Structure 1
Amino acid sequence: MFTTRPEIRGTFGVVASTHWIVSSVGMSILERGGNAFDAAVAAGFTLQIVEPHLCGPAGEVPILFHAAGADSPSVLCGQGVAPAAATIEAFKRQGMDLVPGSGLMSAVVPGAFDAWLLLLRDHGSFDLKDVLEPAIHYAEAGHPLLPGAARALEEVAPIFQNEWPSSGPVWLPNGQAPKAGKLFRNPTLAATWRRILKEAGNGSREQRIDRARRAWSQGFVAEQIDHFCRTQSLMDSSGDCHGGLLTGDDMAAWEAHYETPVSYNYRGWTICKTGPWAQGPVMLQALSLLSGYDIQSLDPNGAEFAHLTLEAIKLAMADREAYYGDPNFVDVPLAQLLSDDYAAERRKLITPRASQQLQPGVVNGFEEQVQRALAQVREATDEAAGLGIGEPTMAHLQSTTKPGDTVHVDIIDRYGNMVSATPSGGWPQSSPTLPGLGFALNTRAQMFWLEPGLPSSLAPGKRTRNTLTPTLALREGRPALICGTPGGDQQDQWQLLLLLRHIDHSIPLQQAIDMPLFHSLHAPASFYPREAMSGVAVVEENMGSEMIEELRRLGHDLRIAPAWSAGRLTAASRDADGLLSAAATPRLMQAYAVGR
């Protein structure tokens, strides 16, 4: 079967990421004797340089990993929490009924930096200087700017010039938007990394890493963030100017931490995801529904396969809206939501006709909460929004055509260590750049509701229910596969298609990634302005006219996206004999898998 590129195979190590430079950086760390954790940290920091419009140092990252010899996989939570001053009342006093999708008020505690350093300290072998070296090099020497990055920066250049003056010196060299394919540098950020390394000082590898963590959360970085949020009042998507709520005390009070994954057994595979502070269990719920069908007998590019998958996704996403939130704050009945009895009852709602209703299940004791969640549904008024496949960030000021706001990396080394991470946030087109630091804050608080009594209602110290969702799968108890993709609410939808095609149809990773993709827009979006498009699904046109017409006959309201436009999937696997494989999407012509 023809694929757009070979599936990479070997025994030494494999790296797949959303940027070819990052994949090469990760592989170079493996070649120098580092393990998958060292390589992942180097890749994570380099992603912040070469895909700056999609992730940044002050963003967030969930990391799923399996350490060789460990009894089970782990989650490293790099999702920061809402500031102490971020109350529903604080936003209501400003006349807001939604958290803005841009600007300073939407920032939560940055989580990515501490998560990457904690992973390096506890599971890596390299020094912090060694894994920061590639990112510093590309920030100082430059990298060929991606077309998407150039387009995004050009579209918001007037905002940098007129509303966010601290952004211009970093992102508009010589006062002009940078050009695609030309070398782009960020010496300000490189200087930030070099100062952190200097403040890490001497001592053991672990001591230096911990000092670097403190320089970020309690030192000069936190001080500058605190000062900027307190002293600046800048435009955001509310249409008014506001300062930030994030303080140095918020930064000092938070650390990344480890958790046990949530999992579901599907046809001999155990699929592991983050907890319900992210949307990962959506995939598990969809699998529980689809386990009642003979997926193997269906054409993996056919209308019946697409119909069943879309309907399962609708039901799982409806439960996301009704139940998911930070389990440190709210009771999330995951045991019931993933039970066979619950799936059997929910499966009765899947009919030969496409559903037009948002239908969460009702778990005993949660009836009122479900009704409150349904009351938040807002139908989209902009039909063009349906073709967007990323995460909107600056629609209030000027529409953008950039495709997505997240990145991903998968790494497996010769020892069997596996790391799958989905960094995001800290987008320069969404928040003003911090003077002297060279990066912007995140806007992840836009995923909170300002309606009390919902599982994802805003509260100080609470994690947003984000969309970032890497995957790690065990086959008959053996760590076997990792994968992920950018794409906001679509992340688990596209990964679900990859897993179904790989598990139920034994389609190799690269071929499965190359196959046409589709997704539902039925549930409320996680990003501002939080709208739903009831009954709407987006289908890549290369699904074929016959399949598309059959889906319409089944009642799906379709938006046809161009071929090769949905998703940026990457994946890597390890079989029982230690053979490694890796694959990456050809979409956008920048993701790449390498290995040997």
Structure 2
Amino acid sequence: MKYPLLLLFASCYISLSAQQTQKPVLHGRNWMAITGKPLAATAGAMIFQKGGNAVDAACAMLAATCTMWDTLSWGGETQVLIYNPHTKKVIAINAMGFAPTGATVEFFKSKGYNFPPEYGPLAATTPGTPGGLIYMLANYGTMTLEQVLVPAIQMAAGYPIEAQAANYIERQKSLIKQWPYSKKVFLTHSDEQREAPEAGEIFVQKDLLLTLNKMVAAEKAARKKGKGRKAALMAAYDRFYKGDIAREFVRGCQEQGGLITMKDLAKWKPLVEQPLMVNYKGIDVYKMQQWTQGPVMLQALNILENFDLKGMGYNSTKYIHTVYQAMNLAFADRDFYYGDPYFKPVEPIKGLLSKEYAKQRATLIQYVKNDAGIGPGDPYPFEGLSNPYRNLLNKRGFELDTSKRNFAPKHDMGNYSPKEIYEDRLWRGTTSVEAADKEGWVVSITPSGGWLPACIAGNTGIGMSQRMQSFVLDSTLNPFNVVAPGKRPRVTLSPAMALKDGKPFMTSAVQGGDTQDQNLLQFFLNVAEFGMNVQQAAEAANFNSNQLWLSLGGTKTSDREPKPGQILLNSNTTEAVRNELKKMGYSLSFGDRTSGPINAIYFDWKHGSLWGGSSNHGEDYGIGW
């Protein structure tokens, strides 16, 4: 596509092959374990050293990160992509909890909410992580639950808490004090000036330790009765979702005003799914289904395939503008068309991922300015159908006739929350787990939920999820994502995996709410288009769009509304690029690290080795051998 000759673009192109990184590339021949916490990466290494495969190690890392609290806990949710070297297929595990009994639009509106709440027992979906962990261990791992939980159990008995979590507990202690079981666990110095643990203090979680030991005890009892490995694992599963752990979880949840019932826990189960995939210039890119935001990355890749990105230059004005516009087009579709595929109405995902639809969307990009009027498109004709939601789109202020797009949509108007609150919601929660082994197993996980300040369910030590807030109560916003009992919210959680020539090419995941698929998209392009190695790509300067509906935070519509043209850039962005973007209608903000934080593994088939990239953004850490 042609750009006007009179528009000059400055380039911040650098010699990418010589790009220096703050952290070294990780190299391994036998295995790679990378996650958001150093202790959790060590847990993965421990399992590998004992002969476990990548699924076993990933389960140990997941359990360890859940025990460390600041970005997730055991009551949250887990999204997994697994490459099985025996079938040579990528499968997805959906371990997202669902809305409990009584979680209706009418219920939340009666309490004055425009969205379900951010925190507390009414924010909780059913816990998914324990079931997801057990399911993938039973079907794709080799070890027992007792073996993979050894690090987490040792940590629950006491580990030196890191400053990030300890200080956040202190900052949020007024909220934590509302929930008696959370107060008991987190405020270890109650009524002192500092009530939270100090950094480095041995943080003990007696209730969680008991819960984990109960699950292991159920497995061991089943083994003594002659049950096989899988059946014994399911005995642990049943004790959590149907036994005494479930009863205490439900009691503690309901005591504090929550809705989850025993029937809800017994009814929930993890699901094995076929992931979605598009091919980008010979690389098959896999994401979770449309109950996540994963297809956003696939849609954006389809759009960007119509442009010469490499010719534009890495993070030139032309490149930033084009990718920003493509992301906005994809997010506009996400915000209206994505939802739980197990509930009606059925999402038009075939049309959304159509290459022809992407070409149509690409023609909407305006090359001289940001388009504040980007809205959802019409994917239905690309499925041979007519759009049943034209009236809803018109109510939102969008016309499907692209000739009428020269205006700001209704939902872009109004007063917004302060910048710091908005950006906290944009980046909230989550961690990532990446693992691979010499046999060929590859695992990518984006677990989340139950982050601080978490409401703990009774004496289980389990923090409840906060994912209900990702539902909407107004079908005008998204008819596919309206809350209902038994339904899963459309979440931000979005691991990625790519194959080339039928073999694993790269796997990646990132924390950061609505920024996840923005950062994973740019990370992928850094490798595929600009030839960066996996560590360079993980540290490279990305940019983020705020021109989307927030998936987390705030109970008012004004808390969630998009901010057209707002862009987060790296502080090293040149003055020339800054000035050109301002002229194009962008509102700029800056950060020293805008890379994610991304964790990833690249597969070097030429040399038979693994390359690990572990972000320099925060506490992310990897170990290879």
Matches within 5 A, 1:412-491: 412-429=436-453, 431-452=454-475, 454-491=479-516
Give the one of 591, 611, 614 matched to 1:584: 614
Alignment of 1:110-509 (within 5 A): 110-143=127-160, 145-161=161-177, 163-175=178-190, 176-200=195-219, 201-203=221-223, 204-232=228-256, 243-329=257-343, 330-352=345-367, 353-362=369-378, 363=380, 364-365=386-387, 366-371=389-394, 379=414, 381-385=416-420, 388=423, 390-391=424-425, 404-429=428-453, 431-452=454-475, 454-509=479-534
1:378, CA displacement in angstroms?
6.7
Counterpart amino acid of residue 593 in structure 1: G
1:55 to 72, 78, 96: 72
Task: Show the counterpart of 1:515.
Answer: 540
Q: Is the 8 A contact 1:484 1:571 kept in 2?
A: yes
1:213–1:157: structure 2 CA closer, same or farther, 3 Å change rule? same
What is the letter of the counterpart of residue 436 of structure 1? N
CA distance in 2, matches of 1:192, 1:61: 19
Q: Which has the larger radius of gyration?
A: 2
User: Once the 2 structures are TM-superposed, how far is the Cα of residue 180 of structure 1 from its aligned partner?
Assistant: 2.6
Contact 1:380 1:532 (8 Å CA) reproduced: no
The aligned amino acid for 1:225 is F
Shift of 1:534: 1.9
Residue in structure 2 matching 1:559, options 568, 589, 592: 589
CA RMSD, Structure 1 to Structure 2 (Å):
1.8
**CA distance in 1 between partners of 2:515 and 2:46 (Å):** 31
Decide whether aligned partners of structure 1 residues 328 and 410 sit closer, same or farther in structure 2, where only a CA change above 3 A counts: same
Q: Following TM superposition, by how much is the alpha carbon of 1:174 offset from its aligned partner in structure 2, in angstroms?
A: 2.4
Q: Distance in 2 between matches of 1:74 and 1:108?
A: 24
- Change in Cα spacing, 1:337 to 1:274, as seen in structure 2 (3 Å) is same
Please report the TM-score for the alignment, with normalisation by the length of structure 2: 0.88
550-559 vs 103-112, greater mean Cα deviation: 550-559
- Give the CA deviation at 1:223: 0.8
Partner AA of 1:344 in structure 2 = K
Deviation at 1:207, TM superposition (A): 1.9
Distance 1:86 1:263 in 2: 33
Aligned: 1:16 with 2:34: yes
SS in 2 for 1:73: strand
Post-superposition CA distance 1:501-552 (Å, at most 9, x none): 1001111110111111210011110012223212211112123333222222
Q: Please name the residue that 1:91 is paired with.
A: 108
How far residue 369 of structure 1 moved from its aligned partner, in angstroms, is 4.1
Sequence identity of aligned pairs in percent? 30
Query: After the TM superposition, which of the residue ranges 373-382 and 552-561 deviates more from structure 2?
Result: 373-382
Question: Aligned equivalents of 1:380 and 1:34: distance in 2?
Answer: 53
CA distance, structure 2, for counterparts of residue 281 and residue 380 of structure 1:
30
Answer yes or no: is the 8 Å Cα contact 1:65–1:417 preserved in 2.
yes
Deviation at 1:255, TM superposition (A): 0.6
CA deviation string 1:155-199 (max 9, x = no partner): 1112223x2222111011121112234332323211210122112
SS at match of 1:411: strand
Aligned partners of 2:164, 2:575: CA distance in 1, in Å?
29
The verdict on how the C-alpha distance between 1:16 and 1:548 changes in structure 2, with shifts beyond 3 A counting, is farther
Q: Which runs of 5 or more residues in structure 2 are unaligned?
A: 1-17, 381-385, 398-409, 555-559
Q: Check conservation: 1:386, 1:559, Cα contact below 8 A.
A: no
The CA distance in 2 between the partners of 1:113 and 1:564, in whole Å, is 33
TM-score (norm 1): 0.92
**CA separation of 1:379/1:558 partners in 2, compared to 1, >3 Å: closer, same or farther?**
farther
Find the counterpart in structure 1 of residue 572 from structure 2. Answer: 542
| Mapped partners of 1:184, 1:584: distance in 2 | 26
Note if 1:571 corresponds to 2:600. Answer: yes
The code of the aligned residue for 1:231 comes to E
Question: Where does residue 43 of structure 1 map in the other structure?
Answer: 61
Q: Any stretches of 5+ residues in structure 1 without a counterpart?
A: 233-242, 393-402
* 1:221 to partner: Cα distance: 2.1
How far residue 248 of structure 1 moved from its aligned partner, in angstroms, is 1.1
Report the CA distance shift for 1:208/1:379 in structure 2 as closer, same or farther (over 3 A).
Answer: farther
Q: CA deviation at 1:367?
A: 1.8
- Structure 1 stretch displaced more, 292-301 or 371-380: 371-380
How far apart in 1 are the matches of 2:459 and 2:258? 18
List per-residue Cα deviations over 1:334-358 (Å, max 9, x = no partner).
1111112211111111112111124
Partner of 1:525: 550
* Aligned-residue offset at 1:565: 5.2
